[in-house]
């Protein structure tokens, strides 16, 4: 499936480079030359030779904490989603980004944390899931209270909302929040809603919806549901964690994963109503979801301070 996946990546690269600086990590020099030949002519393109195990840089890339006029790039340990997959190359990416000058600093953090497992609204509130952060494979010996204290201190948030429900079939991440519920502004969360009682996700996502509805009023958070795509399966008949919540916000646009379904249009309409000042760009994501992730998982932003 490499050819199809590359086309999805080239779509992402073209849309990003039209609007902002784009960094692409390449496995070796031969791969770098190939990528540059495919992306020839794109503005603001930078390529770097940094070998990786997996494509999901959202989970092992630097987490950026912006304070005053500075950006702190945090390097948390990445262990292949609780030891499921090799991660030795992924876990050194941030050190190499620093050595190459792509980031200006690197703060090593004393725990396992994946970027896709947390959502923040930029105003002191963090959303995450118990099913991911509290798994035995990630931070054995650190309980919820201790981990919450660490998150508050490191990410400079005042409140942590822990969701107990929402994990999707086929999800290797144990319930990453970026497949379930996303902040679209300081006071709005978009979340996956299942409307089909016959769907295996119906009860779980209804319980997640109830959790959000119980939490949101206390902080003045508005909730907007996104449709759940119809089931998407791999060639062996296993369901994949397809979701529209895995969009990525860039300068002037929102890149939205689509799966060649009727619900694609509804999801884009919902997001267009929320991001009225941004272009809503569909990214064909069947090749990505067949590898277990989508557009947000495959990207990581590096904020710049003017």
Q: Is the pTM of this model over 0.95?
A: yes
Supply 26's token pair.
Answer: 């390449």
pLDDT of residue 153 exceeding 80, the answer is yes
| pLDDT tens string 25-76 | 999 999 999 999 999 999 999 999 999 999 999 999 999 999 888 999 999 9
More confident: 219 or 247: 247
Q: What is residue 1's predicted lDDT score, i.e. its pLDDT? A: 87
pLDDT at 127 over 70: yes
pLDDT tens, 250-278?
A: 999 999 999 999 999 999 999 999 999 99
297 is a catalytic site residue: yes
Give tens-digit pLDDT for 129-148: 999 999 989 998 899 999 99
| pLDDT tens-place string over residues 180-191 | 999 999 999 999
Asked if the model's pLDDT at residue 306 lies above 70, the reply is no
Q: What percent of the chain has pLDDT over 90?
A: 95
Q: Are 54 and 91 in contact (CB under 8 A)?
A: no
Please report the pLDDT score of residue 171 as a whole number: 97
pLDDT, the chain, mean: 96
Domains of the chain and CATH, by start: 50-289 (3.75.10.10)
Contacts of 2 (CB under 8 A, 6+ apart): none
**Cα–Cα distance for residue pair 217/234, rounded to 1 Å:** 39
Please give the average per-residue pLDDT across 155-177, as a whole number: 97
Q: How many CB atoms lie within 10 A of CB 261?
A: 17
């Amino acid at each position: 499936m490499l050819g199809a996946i590359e086309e999805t990546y080239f779509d992402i690269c073209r849309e990003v480079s039209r609007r902002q600086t784009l960094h692409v990590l390449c496995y070796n020099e031969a791969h770098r030359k190939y990528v540059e030949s495919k992306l020839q002519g794109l503005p603001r393109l930078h390529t770097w030779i940094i070998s990786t195990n997996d494509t999901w840089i959202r989970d092992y890339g630097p987490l950026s904490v912006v304070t005053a006029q500075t950006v702190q790039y945090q390097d948390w340990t990445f262990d292949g989603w609780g030891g499921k997959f090799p991660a030795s190359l992924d876990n050194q990416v941030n050190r190499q980004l620093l050595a190459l000058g792509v980031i200006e600093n690197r703060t090593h953090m004393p725990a396992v944390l994946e970027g896709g497992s947390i959502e923040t609204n930029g105003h002191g509130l963090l959303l995450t899931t118990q099913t991911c952060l509290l798994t035995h494979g990630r931070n054995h010996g650190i309980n919820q209270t201790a981990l919450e204290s660490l998150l508050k201190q490191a990410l400079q948030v005042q409140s942590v909302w822990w969701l107990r429900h929402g994990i999707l079939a086929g999800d290797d991440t144990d319930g990453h929040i970026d497949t379930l519920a996303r902040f679209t502004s300081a006071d709005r969360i978009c979340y996956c809603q299942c409307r089909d009682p016959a769907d295996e996700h119906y009860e779980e996502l209804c319980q997640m919806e109830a959790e959000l509805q119980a939490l949101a009023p206390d902080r003045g958070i508005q909730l907007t549901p996104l449709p759940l795509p119809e089931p998407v399966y791999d060639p062996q008949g296993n369901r994949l964690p397809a979701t529209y919540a895995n969009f990525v916000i860039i300068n002037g646009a929102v890149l939205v994963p689509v799966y060649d379904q009727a619900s694609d249009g509804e999801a884009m309409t919902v997001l267009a109503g929320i991001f009225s000042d941004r272009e809503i760009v569909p990214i064909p994501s069947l090749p990505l979801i067949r590898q277990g992730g989508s557009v947000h998982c495959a990207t990581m932003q590096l904020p710049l301070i003017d």
